[in-house]
Amino acid sequence: MAAPQPGLPRAVLRWLQSLDLSVCPRHCRRDFSNGYLVAEILSCYYPGDIQRRAYGNGTSLAAKLSNWSRLRRFFAKQKLGLAEEVIDGTIHCKPGAAEILVQDIYSRLTNRQLKSIQDRETDFTDYYYQAQLPMAARSTTSQAIKNNIKLTEIMIEPSVNVNRQKVNAIINMHMRMRMQEREEDPQRFNIKPNLGQCAVRHLYCTTASENTVSILKEKLFAASYSSEIRDKDDVHFKEIQVKQADRFSVAMDDV
């Protein structure tokens, strides 16, 4: 199950309508993935640097890479500073990536700040969407991999090690969600308490432990006090001599 589109703010939608684009964006994840609408928006502000006829409105991976290659060179020339992970997420139709890209372009071209993109983390997985679903409706591990790794990513990066790292990251994310589910509802997963949790805590045990701790504190205080007295130079101890009784006389008295 794919994550729903969070949508664009009303101010951004009005701005897009005022540009009189050739295609009205209805589905951000799909309409902005090839970069054609992005080039059309930029041509309204930079007509001398962006030529619309140089960009194709195709849906193939080659058309996407060609358009975004030109756009990346334009971004570097104008020092717009768009994040690479946002661009890659838009190309691969990741959840929320196109919305962040359009809002970022809106803020840079109109000099207006949007609070919605300032507080948003760059996370283009369906983790937050899955967390809002009931436990029975959440994706399995295999479905989570399918939802978060697109075919275009594998086509661009055919390295097995890189793709394996992406899969491991998704599996770890899914396992963290499962562990959180077990903590929130242990009865659903039939989690039995361990021996320590089943043990009964009696009051006298607590009182005895408190008495033991207090006795230890008193002994430590007495030891530290006596050591402080020994360390002082002005304290003198008088030696007491004890006279021992004669052993022979004591034995005769017993007889």
Q: What would the pLDDT profile of 234-252 be if each residue is shown by its tens digit?
A: 555 566 666 655 554 544 5
Cβ contact 163:157 at 8 Å: yes
The reply to whether 30 and 88 lie within a common domain is yes
Closest CA relative to residue 29, chosen from 82, 120, 94, 79: 94
CA dihedral 185, 190, 195, 198 (to 10 degrees): 70
Instruction: Report which listed range, 2-11, 190-199, 229-238, is most confident.
Output: 190-199
The reply to whether 105 and 30 lie within a common domain is yes
In a domain, 244, yes or no: no
The reply to whether 138 and 91 lie within a common domain is no
In a domain, 230, yes or no: no
DSSP at 126: S
Structural domain boundaries, residue 63: 10-118
Q: Please indicate whether residue 5 or residue 21 has the higher confidence score (pLDDT).
A: 21
Q: Distance between CA 64 and CA 43 in Å, rounded? A: 18
Segment 117-169, tens digit of pLDDT: 544 456 677 777 788 888 878 888 888 888 888 888 888 877 888 888 888 88
Segment 31-67, tens digit of pLDDT: 999 999 999 999 999 988 888 888 988 888 899 999 9
Measured in degrees and rounded to the nearest 5, phi and psi for residue 102 equal: -65, -40
Side chain identity, residue 132 = Q
The reply to whether 100 and 153 lie within a common domain is no
Instruction: Give the pLDDT band of residue 28 (cuts 50, 70, 90).
Output: confident
Residue 237 confidence (pLDDT): 53
Q: CA–CA distance from 97 to each of 123, 131, 178 (Å)?
A: 9, 19, 25
Measured in degrees and rounded to the nearest 5, phi and psi for residue 82 equal: -75, 140
Q: What are the tokens at 201?
A: 């805590």
Q: What are the tokens at 117?
A: 């993109």
Cβ contact 15:106 at 8 Å: yes
> In this prediction, what percent of the chain has a pLDDT beyond 90?
13
Q: Distance between CA 83 and CA 124 in Å, rounded? A: 13
**Total number of domains constituting the chain:** 2
Q: Distance between CA 108 and CA 212 in Å, rounded? A: 68
Domain boundary among 91, 118, 145: 118
In a domain, 93, yes or no: yes
Cβ contact 138:173 at 8 Å: no
Closest CA relative to residue 33, chosen from 94, 79, 82: 94
The reply to whether 112 and 170 lie within a common domain is no
Q: Distance between CA 21 and CA 201 in Å, rounded? A: 72
In a domain, 165, yes or no: yes
